[in-house]
Amino acid sequence: MVRPGFEPRARMISTPADQSPVLWPIRGLGALLDFVAATHARAVAALLLVCLVSYLPGFFNIPPIDRDEARFVQATKQMLESGDYVDIRFQDEVRYKKPVAIYWLQAAAVRTAEILGASDPRTSIWLYRLPSFIGATGAVLLTYWTALAFGPRRTAYLAALMLACSLLLGVEARLAKTDAMLLLTMVAAMGALARAYFAEIRRGLDDIAASLGTALGGLRGGARLRQAVPPRARPGRGEPGSLHAGQRPESAPSSAFGAYGSPGLLIPAIFWTALAGGVLLKGPVILMVVGFAVAGLIYVDRSARWLRRLRPLIGIVWMLALVLPWFVAILGRTGASFFVQSVGEDLLGKVASGQETHGAPPGAYFLLFWVTFWPGAPLAAIAAPAVFRDRREPATKFLLAWLLPSWIVFEIVITKLPHYVLPLYPAVAILIARTLEQGTLSKNPRLVRMTVLWPIIAAGLPLIGVIGVMILRRQLALLAWPFAAAAIIFGFLAWRLFDADGAERSLLRATVAAQLASIAVLGAMVPLLRPLFPSALLAYTIGPECPNPEFAAAGYHEPSLVFLFGTSTRLTSGPGAADFLSEGGCRYAIIESRQERAFVQRAEAIGLRYAPGPRIEAINYSAGHSIAIAVYRSETGQ
């Protein structure tokens, strides 16, 4: 029996006859992709929908996460309370590990909600998460824009889709931290950089083509040369640089630069503004990633002429004009202490040692990649041989310059957190999407076996969630089961039909599996895991029966407690909590079990009269152990 052959999926177009009525809409995903990739408007609308489905489940009802998210939101809350938008503090301690931009963005979201009359906005965690949600969604759309410099709409859409559905970005979109917004600025900067780089190369190729055309009496040789550079995506009607009848896509001028003449201001403005935003978000990280990419390209090409298109003199002045005002203000307020903490202790400290037990050996990010970039990760392995083979081609060279130098640095740095390499994931997504478009994925069976990660992770994530809910809550989380079952089915079919239907359709099924798993785990299961969130459980349990209550905590000092119970929450010891209650008024003491004996002894010694309140058992995942917490109140609090 002769086995039918299949063309590479990147060169196949779905037709109604292509779709099996039995497996529709599963097989109809290919036709859906054809429809979505037909126009920019459809592609952007589809990506926005994917982001909403991927990031909103759990966005509103997952409690504050210790410790980083809670520290960020509490510092923002104190800015709102004090009206001081220059200094960054957590209670009475300065917090100078990161610059100020994310606090401003979070404060703007909360202040807007207050103006609109929202209920209790300053302790509504989802408001502080809005900048991260916007940053993640914007990063996806900017990945689409960036990828248009490397290929057609279909390629750009697939690259953005992989990033949108990646597990790591899905987590960061729900956390009120810097990393999703940093990703947005990073992709904007690299998208502008790519356009400057390719515009200069195309101009050089056109000069060569003109010379060859003069010598050969035609331009065929030049047209073939220009194919080495990725064609610009076809613009819509009426856009600058639109293709005229008979004009080849490869010869269309870049609308950002006109006909390769003097560079305009739009692309340089995007580049330098993105750099300024990245610096205000997370200091020199964006300069490192972009700088390594630029240095790598200059070294390989032995030329830096293309940088002129970014208007570096004007651009640097513009970037400094955006960045310097706050840095000057904080230096005037604190002297050199900001740079001592942010650069000396935080940045360089992470290079030399593993801060807060987050140390890991080189290679840790490579191992984590197969989970954190799922569902796109299996295709990275299959695309790797083609990427290596095309490493000298300009588009691949640019993406590798974006990816490899910074990845190596992150692997060398001792402190490792999964989100450190997030700014490099768009480069991986575009590399995979280009390989899909070209139909050059490896057929090596060992690499193709990596697709088994699709059903394994699609089943593993809900399974872990169900087990967690059963252990911690004695529940089955039945609401999550239909979504979990659908995720497993789509993950299984993505793997099982890979040979028959091709990589593109399998990737689409895997992204559907990722979205369904997000709904099941983050939307339906994680909010049920209340014992993992002791601060939220205490806030739910304690119902103050007196106006203007005050709180002290002994033993349990997580930042989320301060955020939910107020900036004035006193973090102390057992005896200190007893002294706190003795001061009178409406007061509550939150006592972790290891501090309870010291609290009782001090209370007896000073003759304190107090009333026992609720008691909870929970898990402090930040400290890595279970805890029991008792609440006591002063007699006047009854």
State the number of CA atoms in the 13 A half-sphere of 237 facing the CB.
1
- Identify which of 486, 487, 479 has the alpha carbon closest to the alpha carbon of residue 461: 487
CA-only gyration radius of the chain, Å: 28
Q: Tell me which of 22 and 178 has the higher pLDDT.
A: 178
Q: Quote the mean pLDDT of the chain.
A: 87
Q: Report the percent of the chain where pLDDT is more than 70.
A: 83
Say which amino acid occupies 313.
Answer: L
Q: How confident is the model over 483-502, as a mean pLDDT?
A: 96
The pLDDT assigned to 216 comes to 59
Q: Does the bond joining 67 to the residue before it have cis omega, within 30 degrees of 0?
A: yes
Q: Tell me which of 6 and 540 has the higher pLDDT.
A: 540
Q: How confident is the model over 317-322, as a mean pLDDT?
A: 97
Distance CA 26, CA 14 (A): 13
- Identify which of 194, 183, 134 has the alpha carbon closest to the alpha carbon of residue 423: 183
The pLDDT assigned to 336 comes to 74
Q: Which residue has the tokens 């030049």?
A: 222
The single-letter DSSP state of residue 218 is S
Task: Find the helix or strand (DSSP H, E) in which 593 lies.
Answer: helix 593-606
Task: Find the helix or strand (DSSP H, E) in which 466 lies.
Answer: helix 453-473
Q: How confident is the model over 122-144, as a mean pLDDT?
A: 98
- Is pLDDT at 9 greater than 60 in this prediction? no
Q: What is the pLDDT of residues 193-212, one digit of tens each?
A: 999 999 988 876 666 666 66
The pLDDT assigned to 229 comes to 52
Q: What is the pLDDT of residues 141-150, one digit of tens each?
A: 999 999 999 9
Q: Tell me which of 137 and 255 has the higher pLDDT.
A: 137
Q: Which of 205-219, 353-367, 378-392, 544-558 has the lowest mean pLDDT?
A: 205-219
The pLDDT assigned to 501 comes to 92
- Is pLDDT at 259 greater than 80 in this prediction? no
- Is pLDDT at 312 greater than 80 in this prediction? yes
- Is residue 314 within 8 Å of 211, Cβ to Cβ? no
Q: How confident is the model over 357-368, as a mean pLDDT?
A: 87
- Is pLDDT at 12 greater than 70 in this prediction? no
- Is pLDDT at 16 greater than 60 in this prediction? no
Distance CA 551, CA 188 (A): 45
Q: How many CB atoms lie within 10 A of CB 238?
A: 6
The pLDDT assigned to 5 comes to 41
The pLDDT assigned to 18 comes to 44
User: What angle separates helix 153-165 from helix 125-147, to the nearest 10 degrees?
Assistant: 150
The pLDDT assigned to 215 comes to 59
The pLDDT assigned to 206 comes to 65
Contact residues for 135 (Cβ-Cβ < 8 A; gap 6+): 173, 180, 181, 182, 183, 184
Tokens of 198: 């390719």
- Please give the distance of CA 110 from its chain centroid, rounded to a whole number: 21
Q: How confident is the model over 376-380, as a mean pLDDT?
A: 98
The pLDDT assigned to 22 comes to 42
- Is pLDDT at 309 greater than 90 in this prediction? yes
User: Strand runs (DSSP E) across 132-220, as ranges?
Assistant: none
- Identify which of 400, 405, 407 has the alpha carbon closest to the alpha carbon of residue 430: 400
What torsion do the CA atoms of 321, 325, 331, 336 make, to the nearest 10 degrees? Answer: -30
Q: What is the pLDDT of residues 604-630, one digit of tens each?
A: 999 999 999 999 999 999 888 999 999
Q: Which of 54-63, 291-300, 577-586 has the lowest mean pLDDT?
A: 577-586
- Is pLDDT at 343 greater than 80 in this prediction? no
Q: What is the pLDDT of residues 410-460, one digit of tens each?
A: 999 988 999 999 999 999 999 999 999 999 999 999 999 999 999 999 999
- Identify which of 506, 504, 498, 464 has the alpha carbon closest to the alpha carbon of residue 484: 464
- Please give the distance of CA 340 from its chain centroid, rounded to a whole number: 28
- Is pLDDT at 192 greater than 50 in this prediction? yes
Contact residues for 43 (Cβ-Cβ < 8 A; gap 6+): 36, 37, 144, 153, 156, 157, 160
The pLDDT assigned to 28 comes to 73
Q: Report the percent of the chain where pLDDT is more than 90.
A: 76
Contact residues for 493 (Cβ-Cβ < 8 A; gap 6+): 23, 26, 509
Q: Which of 74-88, 221-235, 336-350 has the lowest mean pLDDT?
A: 221-235
End-to-end alpha carbon distance in the chain: 84
Q: What is the pLDDT of residues 324-339, one digit of tens each?
A: 999 999 988 887 777 7
Contact residues for 535 (Cβ-Cβ < 8 A; gap 6+): 63, 64, 66, 70, 558, 560, 561, 563, 564, 565
Per-residue HEC secondary structure of 552-574 comes to: EEECCCCHHHHHHHCCCCEEECH
Tokens of 545: 């029966």
The pLDDT assigned to 455 comes to 98
The pLDDT assigned to 53 comes to 98
Q: Which of 231-235, 252-256, 320-324, 530-534 has the lowest mean pLDDT?
A: 252-256
Q: What is the pTM of this model?
A: 0.88
- Is pLDDT at 597 greater than 60 in this prediction? yes
